[in-house]
Amino acid sequence: MRVVIEKSLARGTAAAPPSKSEAHRLLICAGLSGGPCTVNNLEWSQDISATLDCLRALGVTVEVRENAALLSGGDPFSSPREPAFCRESGSTLRFFIPLFLLGRERVTLRGAPRLMERPMEPYAALCRERTLLFRREPAENALYLRGPLTPGVYAVPGNISSQFVSGLLLALPLLEAGSVVELTPPVVSRPYIELTRAVQRRFGVLSAWTDDNTLRLFGGQRYVPTDAEAEGDWSAAAVLEGLNLLGGKVRVTGLNTESYQGDKIYREHFEALRRGCPTLDVEQCPDLAPVLMALGAAQNGVILTGAGRLRLKESDRGAAMAQELRKLGARVTAEQDRITVSGGPLHAPQEPLSGHNDHRVVMALAMLLTRTGGVIEGAEAADKSWPSFFDALERLGIGLRRS
């Protein structure tokens, strides 16, 4: 999809879309409970649809309503006979690998090529240690698994993605005996581990930290059917409130200030951007990096540290944003773990910007183009997390045309 964005100032009130991070977890816990239970305040993004597809593979019946899902049935220890499709959702893939390893039969997971290239070595290592099948077939965009997982001690590197920890958190408590997850520091995105544990507690499944890097998972637990509602998404809200740094006046509603979402730190980062050219660590909040780079270019500049993980997302986000920001006249230097964006006057790009098949890149660029005007090609990537994103911009008075 090609979107033409006019130079505009955003005005009005906008509700943050549902948190994709929390919705994944709510739906999985609801599906594992056997139901019936309803998860409300959902938006049917590609990633959430992938999680529903994988729940169906476990035999869960999913009734989709306007902004809710009713889930019932299913057996977490079953082995799907047909391939489970994860589309482009890294969360879905990493959350479901341990769940599909609970069964004894071979399971096939498929996904988009970029998804199947993303790091999965922590799970591969765990399977090698336990002589379980874990075979990647890049030519087929497929991953083959066979369990069963057994209770025990699971050592996981903490510096790749918290999603590996969350996947084990979701599955291991269902085994008959307890397990321990030992994290090798440093641990990235720790707030999202806490988000997983908080959602599990709502469904009656408990775990405990025995020290800063060791989680005890109690065995023999079952998820209790519980109705739930997804809170607003702080990552997406950053795009809406970022419009205020570009001269807009937008009030964002639907956010939980007590949320475990790590990206709620954006308000502190935005204040730092207003004051000057800050150095901001994005190791714990990599999804904010595109927005921070875009706003840094429009404000006083920004230096991002802890940026190495950006290469492992839907695109190489640091390189992708650097390439596109240069089309607007920004000066960007992207190094191994550090990105420097120099602030200064921007101009309308003389050629279309590319979305790089990355929803975060598309949304950050769309936000920035409200200052200069311009065109984004591949803008449909926003559907991965926020299908109504451009509708939300239009409601705030941003002029745009889609084709």
pTM: 0.93
Q: What is the mean pLDDT of residues 331-358?
A: 94
Residue 313 pLDDT > 80: no
pLDDT digits (tens, 9 = 90+) for 76-97: 999 888 999 999 999 999 999 9
Taking a C-beta distance cutoff of 8 angstroms, is the pair 119, 163 a contact? no
Residues 6+ apart with CB under 8 A from 274: 245, 299
Give the pair of three-digit tokens for residue 205. 């499944």
Domain ranges (residues) in the chain: 2-17+232-402, 20-215
What CATH number does the domain located at 20-215 have?
3.65.10.10
pLDDT, the chain, mean: 95
Question: What is the per-residue pLDDT for 314?
Answer: 80
Taking a C-beta distance cutoff of 8 angstroms, is the pair 3, 379 a contact? yes
What is the band of 343 on the pLDDT scale with cuts at 50, 70, 90?
Answer: confident
Phi, psi of 369 (to 5 degrees): -70, -15
- Find the DSSP H helices in 243-299: 266-275, 289-298
Question: What is the per-residue pLDDT for 319?
Answer: 93
DSSP assignment of 119-178 equals --HHHHHHHHHTT-EEEEEGGGTEEEEE----SSEEEEETTS-THHHHHHHHHGGGSSS-
What is the band of 312 on the pLDDT scale with cuts at 50, 70, 90?
Answer: low
pLDDT digits (tens, 9 = 90+) for 232-246: 999 999 999 999 999
- According to DSSP, the β-strands at 179-184 and 153-157 are parallel
Q: ∠ at Cα 225 (176, 150), nearest 5°?
A: 20
Catalytic residue IDs: 287
DSSP H/E element including 109: strand 107-110
- According to DSSP, the β-strands at 374-377 and 2-5 are antiparallel
Q: What is the mean pLDDT of residues 366-375?
A: 98
Question: What is the per-residue pLDDT for 315?
Answer: 83
Q: How far apart are CA 144 and CA 137, in angstroms?
A: 8
Residue 38 pLDDT > 80: yes
- According to DSSP, the β-strands at 228-229 and 37-40 are parallel
Q: ∠ at Cα 111 (379, 312), nearest 5°?
A: 65
> Which residue, chain included where needed, has tokens 């993004």?
45
Spell out where 218-361 has E strands.
228-229, 249-253, 279-281, 302-305, 331-334, 338-342, 353-354
Question: What is the per-residue pLDDT for 168?
Answer: 98
What is the band of 352 on the pLDDT scale with cuts at 50, 70, 90?
Answer: very high
DSSP H/E element including 240: helix 234-242
CATH architecture of the domain 2-17+232-402 equals Alpha-beta prism (3.65)
Residue 15 pLDDT > 70: yes
Question: What is the per-residue pLDDT for 336?
Answer: 84
> Which residue, chain included where needed, has tokens 């409601």?
395
Crossing angle of helices 190-202/163-171, nearest 10°? 20
Give the pair of three-digit tokens for residue 71. 């889930």
Residue 360 pLDDT > 90: yes
Give the pair of three-digit tokens for residue 335. 């190094």
State the maximum Cα–Cα separation within the chain, in Å, rounded to a whole number. 62
Q: How far apart are CA 208 and CA 229, in angstroms?
A: 24
Residues 6+ apart with CB under 8 A from 24: 47, 48, 51, 91, 92, 95
